[in-house]
Structure 1
């Protein structure tokens, strides 16, 4: 070890050298105080909506495409002549229309005047050709919603560059306000490959509302909408709306963290419980859909064309079990359907189920008596007639898991009661446009669907819903063997005049339903189960959200939604 004293000359020499030069002293090195990372500002111009699915298609006029997202996109992207008011009555949408009135009674004519500045997002005006295109598709395409009103139209003419549209009807039609909602861009769709069947299958080629699609990624489960810069009315307060897919657990977690500001999804008892854990973090509401889960008992083939067989099957059903299977304790379980035409949340709804029809549990004695009257006997546990077992086909849309589950529960009930049954699960599009296409009653059919567990549209004008679900082709009711135009496959010449009287306003619809509901129950054509419903959850930083009315629900007010920082 060196002695400390020997270091002194060296230090003195260094100091002397420094003092003899112009070199500055070495810099003083210090560590600056650490700064926190900048706070990421909240995207107050963007709202994320949690949903349980975004798969297409997105045509709001077809039964196969119905979903919460399809309804939402229709309200945000497509123009409508009328939208539901707070009490459910149609209210003219003045962002599109200047006027819409009955201008002549002989023939019955409605004149629509559109705003001159209303245009599609790609430039062309919203005009008469869009009315014409929708009419042509709705009056003849299978699987559409509430087609009866469109089939009453005789002609459509236009003037003033298509901004004044005159619609002439074969007969008076008080329900005309239910028409021409969700107009589609005819200039892009009328000659598109695939035609109507492919319309809006994967997206929207053009929009006519306050938002436009900027990205639609079904694989990633996300749809992004941006403010439509071509929108002629008050611009949306938000710049972007994002639909993001997740399961119940994922959506609730996103709400808890503030990553989602709103959620609209089909929940079961578990989902409702999870939403309950959020406490005051969210406000939770039930949003009914304009569809009733229903078992169709179609009068096709030798067996089902006999009303006694249909009544027997209706009596065999355990409705409580079917509702429990379909809702799993979700909000639809509180909306039991007890009428043939109106849904539980529709204005004027009242239960019409007669005393002889099961309220929930099966009526075995009643079912056995009806089958015996129809000539069936039970041997070795199987109901048979003329040496042939009673064998039925049950169908449900493959994409709707709850309906497939209900179909399998129905199969279990029938098999246990001695009726052979098998379940088929075609795609929703195939089911509604092919399998449930109209067939002559009383005729034995190969590959026919005898029973179907499906969502049945019920949200429109009551007389139109009645005619669309149970009516014949207008004007053909007196023709023997007239074709039905509904998924039920029902057409009765003795009932059709009553339906047409309601459709034309000759008889008030409430009076018509008093007459016809007992007939429909007696014919055992449908067994309504429950009205579909979703859960709406809204965080407090999102304001302007209203539960609304079916079918649009909360989305009719989306243009005024505002988001504050979390």
Structure 2
């Protein structure tokens, strides 16, 4: 191959250097015989989707990067062994995989066979190193989505040039199909300068799917995806999908004029009414895999005492927080009355009822924790109680709810401040330390309920080989009394529904989390212009079905 490359390189050089040949240069074409260049050609078939933002940070495995645009792009540009079906259950993606199955019970081993023609957009094969890279990062990095399943893996090995991947677990893991979604191009990332926080921070170094990125312009707020010529399966009928940032009023106007064929927005009641009034536009709620929650962190010195956490919970008006966060939009119908399962997922059971506000109980608990009221504020040992509330910078509804919590606590005589670090700094650094008392952050569901329970409320531990300690959960919470149940659900010894029935009341008693609601976007579509544009499979995002979209008016 090196010899062949040298020959080709020499040929190219000779083609551009007069010294390589004695042949005369080709004659100039007379102007009268010059070819006519026209600007007409086949019309590009595209669908334009309006969105709230196309902000950077596109790593679907990082809590800091969660957004509809991250979900949309990863569903089209990154390969996954399994994808959610219409019922939400994982289904083998045969565009990528030949097979994936449990091949040994002891030790628990899953074998993945990747199609030989499956490759990244730079022609590198999709292979075992991509599985290995994601495993290493997911078990070691803080602020990742549902790492518990990855921490059960002991080893990953490869056969047949990396196209057969054998994953060996230390314990059985019935939820193994939820792992390795949205594989990343390890050959480009594993030795790249920087840290995990830089992975996909501004774009996609390589993709693998029916579309590729033609342009990603954050300042202009536009992403253009076009049909990938390197895709090994049936090509999409669309030439292009354009994702364009706009205000809600501009989205509505573009839909009414037909300039946009769809729009996806976090809507309030007014937005819902505006879209419904546009002739021929149909609307539908699209739940994200994201539940807004208030974490009261035992890792914080001020909230280490469960009495203090209960006092703060009793000082909060949960109903008012839900109302302010949903603004009577689609999310209002998706109250999160469970600590683990999102309202839109199968298996959701309400375990929380009523409001949390109880001013008398809050005062009693603060007194029992050693605080006394001096004037309008609570003090201990002559020092006023002041809490730090954190929410990711510029992320709504999180920042708005954090400020609402500050007002509610002030009404109870509890002083606080709201800080809004960058999402990356919050999840990777600040929530691994003790400075933050309350965090208004998403609980993100990656598809397996047992893994979500273990990731959100399980104790931190060592990696299976003892090399890398597992990062703690965002709350810094650990209760040995429930850890055995969490482990039993994760390894399939006990049904996860039975474990949730026992564990959720104990989580409530620890006052570590106040779930509020699931974030739900509103999809508006012009069915006279397009077909196939729908909500998509549960949690896969609207664009997950883009390869099947059709433009009707061209």
Distance 1:216 1:141 in 2: 27
Q: What is the alpha-carbon distance in structure 1 between the residues aligned to residue 508 and residue 78 of structure 2?
A: 37
Q: Look up the match of 1:386.
A: 381
User: Which of 407, 418, 427 in structure 2 is aligned with 1:423?
Assistant: 418
**Could you say what secondary structure the match of 2:63 adopts?**
coil
Give the superposition deviation at 1:494: 2.2
CA distance in 2, matches of 1:425, 1:50: 27
Q: CA deviation at 1:303?
A: 2.6
Q: Which runs of 5+ in 1 are unaligned?
A: 1-39, 440-444
Matches of 1:219 and 1:291, distance apart in 2: 26
| Match in the other structure for 2:394 | 399
What residue is the counterpart of 1:562 in the other structure? 550
Residue matched to 1:177: 177
1:498 paired with 2:485, answer yes
Pairwise mapping of residues 97-108 of structure 1 onto structure 2 (< 5 A)?
97-108=97-108
The structure with the larger Rg is 1
SS at match of 2:161: coil
Q: Do the aligned residues in 1 keep the contact of 2:377 with 2:414 (CA within 8 Å)?
A: yes
CA distance in 2, matches of 1:155, 1:107: 11
Structure 1 contact 295–526 (Cα < 8 Å) conserved: yes
- Shifted more, 302-311 versus 101-110: the winner is 302-311
The answer on 1:550 being equivalent to 2:538 is yes
Question: Which position in structure 2 is the counterpart of 1:222?
Answer: 222
The 2-side partners of 1:475 and 1:134 are apart by: 18
Give 1:475 shift: 6.3
| Residue pair 2:388, 2:419 contacting (<8 A) in 1 also | yes
Paired position in structure 2 for 1:314: 313
For 2:472 and 2:448, the matched residues in 1 are separated by 17
Distance 2:143 2:356 in 1: 32
Q: 1:150 to 1:284 in 2, by over 3 A?
A: same
Q: Does 1:116 align with 2:116?
A: yes
Structure 1 residues 83 and 289, CA gap change in structure 2 (3 angstroms): same
Partner of 2:506: 519
Indicate conservation of the 8 Å contact 1:483/1:491, yes or no.
no
**In the comparison of the two structures, how many residue pairs are matched?**
510
Normalised to the residue count of structure 2, the TM-score between the two structures is 0.89
1:166 aligns with 2:154: no
Distance 1:233 1:433 in 2: 38
| TM-score, normalised with respect to structure 1 | 0.87
Query: Does structure 2 conserve the Cα–Cα contact (< 8 Å) formed by 1:152 and 1:474?
Result: no
Distance 1:282 1:315 in 2: 44
Contact 1:151 1:474 in 2 (8 A): no
Q: How does 1:391-470 map to 2 (within 5 A)?
A: 391-437=386-432, 439=433, 445=434, 448-470=435-457
Q: 2:87–2:538: 8 Å Cα contact kept in structure 1?
A: no
- Whole-Å Cα distance in 1 between the matches of residues 43 and 179 of structure 2? 38
Shift of 1:483: 7.8
**What CA distance in whole angstroms lies between the structure 1 residues aligned with 2:406 and 2:195?**
36
Q: Secondary structure at the match of 1:194?
A: coil
Q: How far, CA to CA, are the matches of 2:215 and 2:541 in structure 1?
A: 23
Of the three residues 505, 518, 530, the one matched with 1:531 is 518
Tell me if structure 1 keeps the 8 A contact 2:85–2:91: yes
Deviations 1:425-463 (A, max 9, x none): 1001111111112x5xxxxx5xx1000111111342000
Structure-1 separation of matches of 2:53 and 2:456 = 28
- Match for residue 373 of structure 1? 368
Give runs of aligned pairs for residues 269-418 of structure 1, distance below 5 A: 269-279=269-279, 281-353=280-352, 359-360=354-355, 362-418=357-413
The whole-number CA distance in structure 2 between the counterparts of 1:141 and 1:176 is 20
How big is the shift at 1:371?
Answer: 1.6
Task: State the secondary structure of the residue aligned to 1:126.
Answer: coil
CA distance in 1, matches of 2:203, 2:181: 18
Task: Report what 2:494 is aligned to.
Answer: 507
SS of 2:302's partner is helix
**SS state at 1:488 partner:** coil
Q: Is the 8 A contact 2:68 2:541 kept in 1?
A: no
TM-superposed deviation, 1:46: 0.5
User: Residues 385 and 103 (structure 1 numbering): CA distance in 2 closer, same or farther, change over 3 Å?
Assistant: same
- Measure, in 1, the Cα distance between the counterparts of 2:59 and 2:471: 24
> How big is each residue's C-alpha offset from its partner over 1:388-412, in whole Å with a ceiling of 9 and x where there is no partner?
2221100011121421111111001
5 Å-filtered alignment, 1:13-52, equals: 45-52=45-52
Distance 1:237 1:211 in 2: 11
For the residues of structure 1 that align with 2:486 and 2:249, how far apart are their CA atoms? 46
Aligned CA distance change for structure 1 residues 228 and 384 (closer, same or farther; 3 Å): same
Q: Mark the runs of 5 or more structure 2 residues left unpaired by the alignment.
A: 1-39
CA contact (8 A) 1:102 1:109 kept: yes
Cα separation, partners in 2 of 1:459 and 1:333, compared to 1, 3 Å: farther
Once the two structures are TM-superposed, the CA of residue 58 in structure 1 deviates from its matched residue by 0.5
Aligned partner of 2:9 in structure 1 is none
- The residue aligned with 2:242 is 242
Contact kept, 8 Å, 1:189 with 1:195, in 2: the verdict is no
Q: Is the CA contact 1:335–1:530 (under 8 Å) kept in the aligned structure 2?
A: yes
Change in Cα spacing, 1:350 to 1:42, as seen in structure 2 (3 Å) is: farther
Match of 1:147 in 2: 147
Contact 1:376 1:383 in 2 (8 A): yes
- Greater shift after overlay, 374-383 or 101-110? 374-383
Q: Please state whether the residue corresponding to 1:344 is helix, strand or coil.
A: coil
User: More displaced, 46-55 or 492-501?
Assistant: 492-501
Q: Secondary structure at the match of 2:339?
A: coil
